[in-house]
Amino acid sequence: MRQLNPSDIDKLITIRGLVIRCTPIIPDMKQAFFRCMACNHTIPVELDRGRITEPDRCPRDMCNQQGTISLIHNRCEFADRQVIRLQETPDAVPDGQTPHTVTLCSYDELVDVSKPGDRVEVTGIFRSQAVRVNPRARTQKSLYKTFVDVIHIKQGDTRRLGLDASTRGVAEKGDARRAQALGMRAIANRPDCYELLARSLAPSIYEMEDVKKGILLQLFGGTNKTISSGGGGGGPRYRGDINVLMVGDPGTSKSQLLMYVHKIAPRGVYASGKGSSAVGLTAYVTRDPDTKQLVLESGALVLSDGGVCCIDEFDKMSDATRSVLHEVMEQQTVSIAKAGIITTLNARTSVLAAANPVGSKYNVRLPITRNIDLPPTLISRFDLVYLVLDKVDEASDRRLARHLVGLYLEDRPSTAPGADVLPIETLTSYIGHVRANVHPVISAAAGEALAERYVALRKAGEDPRSSERRITATTRQLESMIRLSEAHARMRWSETVEVEDVDEAARLIAEATKSSATDPTTGLIDLDLVNTGRGLAGRKLASDLRREVLSLIDSMGGGTNAADGSTAPNVSARAIRYSELAKALAEQSTYGSVDPTELYDLMRTLETEGLVKIAGSGDRRTVKRVG
């Protein structure tokens, strides 16, 4: 595409690229039908180099009148025409340059063959068209617009780097496919297939075995299901795509993993949270330069429909962008209502995101919701949340240093010697082949195992010493376990989900939950930290703080009944300064140091409940017990 120049005009060419926009079907006149209004003589006129010339007079010798020719629309012949915008694929764009785009014109049976996000190979004639200053004037500009008159469209290989046998004969092509299928089967039959594929995923990145296994299962994905309602279709649809979030310190290879997955994932799109807007991720409205109509341009999430969308700097997104992701990650659709265009686009994509903590260093004494600038409702939509921390350990640092030095000396990772690592082409072909041909179904034994693992996760939150219980699993964890089990069975090239798949899925979820949902104050797993931002210990401390603040207000404001010493509110209680209350709380309270923001939120809550009244602002702000 980048090498097209004026010498290629009116020649047969073949280009490859990514479809980014398709216009609606446009009627294109192929044969005009004119009639003389004086003698009713009919005149068919064929298309000549894209133009139809209207006769200026009646061709009959008996009539030969001028200005009596009229176009009869219902007898003209039209063809379906569609204008497609083709862009260079990200892997074909040279470093530091912007991708080139080409306009395609497809007709009749080639209309709606491709959709935005498809990788296609187009064969056609490279044509040019003059640009007129005014449609009614004969003068034209010296610059010409170019487009490709499409003859054939071939859907690109969804495996991106799979075996390309398009230029071979039919027999050779069949032999190549059979040989490829046999090679894929040989990989699936290996007893160490799981470990082999996990090692082959970004082998230059040291260790992080569980993170690689979770991302590997994300690439295989589960099975999308639509539950029939009342004996027919149209019931609720359950997603099979897996979402993974990596949170950790800088320099822990998070971005490298994202770039590697982007290269091998089918229909993978890479975006940065800081430089991405809500419309850039979903869809935006633009005006077509040819038809002057408003058209919908697909964004990153829609273009990666059926693939993986890699988002770096996930924590630096704007609030408007985050609000879009709530619908995409759970419902897998994008609802658009802009400029008179109301529609719902499919965004059946897996999201692989990487985020840095606040202050660039993860604080293990704080929960994950206070370490990263993301709402709990968005974090809870990820199936796997991994903490990638830079821990100081001499033995681990020594192994990492040897691994990096070995990459420079031998160009081979020390953790996977010899032939234990698959080439990137083989790994990509295996993933694409399995995704297209294997659709596992949960067996009865696996269903029982899923129920048992879920109940065991729920029981882990029981504590006989406390009246309240911690939330250690929700139905989202059960659905994540089902998706991971299906992905593990698909990875084994199995049509049935077995108990071993459930065991591995439960192990991955337990490891991810242990690192991301552990309460730093108690050391126990509490999913409320992820779902609501506050765990059981935090709720108990907040309740104690509330009780102590009310007691201080009563005692300082004279609200304590002297007769019995109770803390019931007194109507004659006086107002106290807010600063005095905060100082007394810090000196007398057994709660310890109190965050000013937390105290302010508590006072606003008490005011909303009608227990206190806050007056004034700044240093003159006062608090009074009223109820």
Mean pLDDT calculated for residue range 452-465 = 70
The residue behind tokens 């401390």 is 541
* Residue 550 scores a pLDDT above 70: yes
- Chain mean pLDDT for the chain: 76
530: confidence class by pLDDT, cuts 50, 70, 90: low
At 82, the amino acid letter reads: Q
What pLDDT is attached to residue 164? 34
Per cent of the chain over pLDDT 70 is 76
* Residue 418 scores a pLDDT above 60: no
- Number of helices and strands in the chain (H, E): 18, 24
Which has more pLDDT, 231 or 51? 51
| 389 torsion bin: left (phi>0), alpha (psi -120 to 50), beta (else) | beta
Closest to 308 in 3D by CA, of 272, 263, 346, 275? 263
Range list of β-strands (E), 156-278: 225-226, 237-238, 244-248, 269-272
Closest to 540 in 3D by CA, of 437, 457, 474, 469? 469
What pLDDT is attached to residue 129? 81
Q: What is the CATH superfamily name and number for domain 11-155?
A: Nucleic acid-binding proteins (2.40.50.140)
* Residue 488 scores a pLDDT above 70: yes
Task: State if pTM tops 0.75.
Answer: no
Which has more pLDDT, 434 or 277? 434
What are 593-604's pLDDT values in tens digits? 666 777 777 778
Mean pLDDT calculated for residue range 151-168 = 53
Mean pLDDT calculated for residue range 24-44 = 87
What pLDDT is attached to residue 232? 46
175: confidence class by pLDDT, cuts 50, 70, 90: very low
What are 554-596's pLDDT values in tens digits? 777 665 443 344 444 444 567 777 777 777 777 766 655 666 7
What are 395-407's pLDDT values in tens digits? 766 776 776 676 6
Which has more pLDDT, 133 or 469? 133
Q: Could you tell me where in the chain the CATH 2.40.50.140 domains are found?
A: 11-155
CA atoms within 13 A on the CB side of 479: 18
What pLDDT is attached to residue 485? 92
User: Rounded distance, CA 31 to CA 51, Å?
Assistant: 10
What are 249-291's pLDDT values in tens digits? 887 778 888 888 888 876 777 888 777 777 778 777 877 776 6
Number of Cβ within a 10 Å radius of residue 11: 10
Mean pLDDT calculated for residue range 83-88 = 88
Q: Could you tell me where in the chain the CATH 1.10.10.10 domains are found?
A: 534-559+572-625
Mean pLDDT calculated for residue range 22-49 = 85
Which has more pLDDT, 326 or 408? 326
Highest-pLDDT range among 51-55, 107-111, 238-242: 107-111
248: confidence class by pLDDT, cuts 50, 70, 90: confident
Highest-pLDDT range among 28-37, 82-91, 173-182, 450-459: 28-37
CATH number for the segment(s) 534-559+572-625 = 1.10.10.10
419: confidence class by pLDDT, cuts 50, 70, 90: very low
What pLDDT is attached to residue 266? 66
529: confidence class by pLDDT, cuts 50, 70, 90: low
User: Rounded distance, CA 125 to CA 119, Å?
Assistant: 19
- Of 32-46, 227-241, 426-440, 536-550, the one with minimum mean pLDDT is 227-241
Contact 273, 281 (CB under 8 A): no
What are 99-151's pLDDT values in tens digits? 888 999 998 888 888 877 778 899 999 988 877 767 666 677 778 888 899 99
